[in-house]
Amino acid sequence: MAKKRETIIVFSAHSDDFVIGAGGTIAQYVRAGKKVLAVVFSYGEKSHPWMKSKVIKAIRQKEAEEASKVLGCRVLFFDLKEFSYLKEYQSQGLEAALIKLLKRYRPQKIFTHSNEDPHPDHQAVHKITIQLTEKMKSRIQVYIYSVWNPVSLQTQFPALYVDVSSTFWTKLKAFKKFPSQRFNAIYPLMILVLYRAIKDGFKIRKRFGEHFFRIQ
Ligand SMILES: [Zn+2]
C-alpha cells in the first residue's frame, strides 16, 4: 500500500502571514512531496477603509491564491472580522468547521502564530489552534512562526530550522503577489524578510533558513 502523503496545515490570521512566516518552508515541503494547506482566517478589509469590503475580499483572495500557486500549496479562507476573531469564531460556529477540516486532512504538523506576537488577531489564531489541537484525539505537532516580531521564547521549546536555500526566492516571488497589502512598504519589508532568512540560515550553515518553535 502506498504511504499516505504527509499533510501540513498553516494557520494564518491574514492573507499574507503564512507567506511571510513560513513561505520558504511551505515551498520546501511541497517539493518534498508533502501536501500543504494554508488556512486564512480573515480577508482583512480594515486596512483599506475607503474601498468596498466586497472588492477587498476579492482582491485578497486572488492575491493569496496566486501566492499559494507560487508556493505549491492550497489556500482556504474564513471570514472573521479583524480585531474580534475570538468573538466571531464563536458566533460563526467555526470550531465545528475546523474540527471537520482537521479530521479530513489529518495533518501531522500545524504551523501557527506565536503567542508572543503582539497583534491581537495573531494571538487569537494562536489560542484557536491550541483549543483545536487539544480536542483532537490524534496528536498533532504544533509549531509557531513569527511574522514581524521575532519570537524570543528563550525557551524550553525545541527549535526547528528549515533549510530554505532553494526556495527562498520562491517565497519572495509569492510575497510579491500581495501588492494591495503594503504597496508602499514592500521593499523595506522584503529586506527584513531577507535579513531573517540569512540569520536563520547562518544558524544551520545554509544560505537561507526559516525557524520555528515546536510547542506541542
Ligand atoms: Zn497578520
Q: DSSP letters of 143-175?
A: EEE-SSSPP---SSSPEEEEE-TTTHHHHHHHH
CA 2 to centroid of ligand 1, rounded, Å: 38
Please report the pLDDT score of residue 1 as a whole number: 52
CA of 11 to the centre of ligand 1 (A): 11
> Does residue 198 lie in a domain region?
yes
Q: Is residue 1 part of a domain?
A: no
Please give the helix or strand (H or E) that residue 74 lies within, else none. strand 74-77
Q: What is the CATH number of the domain that holds 33?
A: 3.40.50.10320
Q: 122 alpha carbon to ligand 1 midpoint, in Å? A: 6
In a domain? residue 2? no
Structural domain harbouring 49: 7-214
Compute the distance from residue 3 Cα to the ligand 1 centre, in Å: 35
Residue 163 within a domain? yes
Distance 1 CA to ligand 1 centre (A): 41
Residue at 121: amino acid letter: D
The H-or-E segment that residue 15 falls in is: none
CA of 38 to the centre of ligand 1 (A): 13
Mean pLDDT in order along the chain per 10 residues (216 residues): 82 94 98 98 73 82 96 96 91 95 96 92 97 93 87 76 97 88 68 91 97 94
- pTM (two decimals): 0.93
Residue 121 within any structural domain of the chain: yes
Is 56 within a domain? yes
What spacing in Å lies between the alpha carbon of 79 and ligand 1's midpoint? 14
Which of these, 16, 125, 113, lies nearest to 62 by C-alpha position?
16
Q: How far is the CA of 13 from the centre of ligand 1 (A)?
A: 5
Supply the pLDDT for residue 180: 66
User: Is the distance from CB of 39 to CB of 12 less than 8 angstroms?
Assistant: yes
Count the domains in the chain. Answer: 1
Q: Is 48 exposed, middle or buried (0-12, 13-18, 19+ CB in 10 A)?
A: middle
33 CA to centre of own chain? 19
In a domain, 158, yes or no: yes
Is residue 60 assigned to a domain? yes
